[in-house]
Amino acid sequence: MTAVLSLRDVGIRYSPDPRAPLAVRNVTLDVRQGETLGLVGESGSGKSSLAAAMAGLLPRQATTVGQVQFDGQDMAAMDARAQRRLRGAKIATIAQDPFTSLNPVVRIGRQLVEFQHWRTDLNATARWRRAVEMLARVGLSDPDIRMKQFPHQLSGGIRQRVAIAAALLVNPRLLIADEPTTALDATTEDQIIELIRAARAQIEGAVVFITHDMGVVRRLCDKMAVLYAGELVEAGPVDQVFADPRHPYTRALLACDPAGIEEPSRNLPTIPGVVPPPGALPPGCIFAPRCPAARAVCQTEKPPRLPVAPGRAAACHLIEATA
C-alpha cells in the first residue's frame, strides 16, 4: 500500500543560502493509512520544522532537500497551485496555540465555512450546517452560539476543539497535530487526546502527532520517531520502542516520562545539557556530549542508521544490526 506520507532523506534549512546549516537532516520515514505516528524529542529537535515541511508550511526563505511524497506524488514536482490545493483539501494541521490556526478577528462560523471552500459541491448554507454539526461532534454545547463568537471569547480547550472541528471539516488524508495540548490543563488534555483518537477513526488517512510527552505517545500512537538535534535517532512501533529502547537518547526521554516514574513529582529528571543548534553540531554522534554511554568512537565518528528489528532502526555505535 502506498504511504500517505513518505519522506526520503529530508533536510530543511532556514535560508536560501546552500552553505547555511540544515536544521533537519536525513529524515526518512513513512506514515500509512490508519496509522498515527508520534514525533518526539526535546524542544529544538526539529519536530515543528518537520511538521511544517510535511504540510508545506515552511517560511518562504526556507528550503527543503530530499523527497516529500504525498499519496505517491512528489510535492516538489508540483506547481504552487497544485501544492496549495493539496494543502487545502488534504492536509489539516492543529497547532499548539489555536490562535495561530484561527483568525482572531473573524467569527468562528465564518472561518469554519471558509475552511470548506474546496467543497464546491456544497452551498454556503450546507457548509454552515456542516460546521454546526461538527462543533457538536467535538463536544461543544450551544454550537449555534459558538459560531457567532470570536476566538478570544473562548477558553483554550474550546478553541482547540474548534481547531479540531476545522481540521475534520477538511476530511484530511493527513492530520498533523503539533503539541496541541501543551497549553491545556490535564483534564482538558485528556479530552483533546480522546478527540484526536476519534478523529483518526473518522478520517480516511493518517495522523502525525507531535509531543514531548512520552505518555501521550503510548496512549495514542502506533509508530514513533525520535528526533534529536534535527536527526532521527530511533524509530519503530511504539510498544517495541517502549519495551526495549535502543538509543540512549530514547532511554533518557523515557526516564523523564512522568508516567514511568513511580512517585511522580514536580521535579522530573531531565537530561543534563542542551540540544546543540544546527550550526554547532558535535563532530561524531550528535548525542555523544550528553550520552552517559558514549565511548571514544562516538566523539569522532557518526553512527550509521542500523535496522534493529523489522520496521525498527536506531543510529548508535553501541548497537549491532540484528534485522
Q: Which stretch binds ligand ADP (CB under 6 A): 43-51, 131-139, 232-240, 289-297?
A: 43-51
Among 6, 36, 49, 96, the residue binding ligand ADP under the rule CB under 6 A is 49
Binding mask 268-287 for ligand ADP (x = CB under 6 A): ---------xx---------
Binding flag, residue 23, ligand ADP (CB under 6 A): yes
Binding mask 21-60 for Mg ion (x = CB under 5 A): --------------------------xx------------
Partner whose footprint covers residue 172, from Mg ion, ligand ADP, none (CB < 5 to 8 Å by kind): none
Give, for 270, the enclosing helix (H) or strand (E): none
d(CA 73, CA 287): 34
Task: Return the residues of window 235-254 that contact ligand ADP according to CB under 6 A.
Answer: none
Q: Is 28 exposed, middle or buried (0-12, 13-18, 19+ CB in 10 A)?
A: middle
- Which residues, 6+ apart, have CB-to-CB distance to 232 below 8 Å? 26, 27, 28, 29, 225, 226, 305, 315
CA pseudo-torsion sign 229, 234, 236, 239:
negative
Reported as half-sphere exposure (CB side, CA atoms, 13 A), residue 140 has a value of: 27
The answer to whether residues 225 and 41 touch, using CB atoms and an 8 Å cutoff, is: no
Partner whose footprint covers residue 45, from Mg ion, ligand ADP, none (CB < 5 to 8 Å by kind): ligand ADP
Cα–Cα distances (Å) from 273 to 135, 231, 253, 270, 303, in that order, read: 44, 17, 13, 9, 20
Binding flag, residue 46, ligand ADP (CB under 6 A): yes
Binding flag, residue 95, ligand ADP (CB under 6 A): no
Strands 305-309 and 73-74: unpaired
Cβ nearer to ligand ADP, comparing 11 with 44: 44
Cβ nearer to Mg ion, comparing 34 with 276: 276
* Nearest distance in Å: CB 43, ligand ADP: 4
Could you tell me how many residues of this chain bind ligand ADP (CB under 6 A)? 13
Among 1, 19, 59, 187, the residue binding ligand ADP under the rule CB under 6 A is 59
- Which residues, 6+ apart, have CB-to-CB distance to 257 below 8 Å? 213, 214, 215
Cα–Cα distances (Å) from 82 to 70, 76, 114, in that order, read: 12, 10, 19
* Nearest distance in Å: CB 137, Mg ion: 28
* Nearest distance in Å: CB 251, ligand ADP: 19
Cβ nearer to ligand ADP, comparing 95 with 166: 95
d(CA 80, CA 82): 6
At which residue does the C-alpha cell 459541491 appear?
121
Q: Which stretch binds ligand ADP (CB under 6 A): 39-47, 97-105, 188-196, 248-256?
A: 39-47
Strands 63-70 and 231-237: unpaired
Residue 5 three-state SS: strand
Cβ nearer to ligand ADP, comparing 135 with 214: 214
Task: Return the residues of window 63-92 that contact Mg ion according to CB under 5 A.
Answer: none
Residues making contact with Mg ion (CB under 5 A): 47-48
Residues making contact with ligand ADP (CB under 6 A): 14, 23, 41, 43-49, 59, 277-278
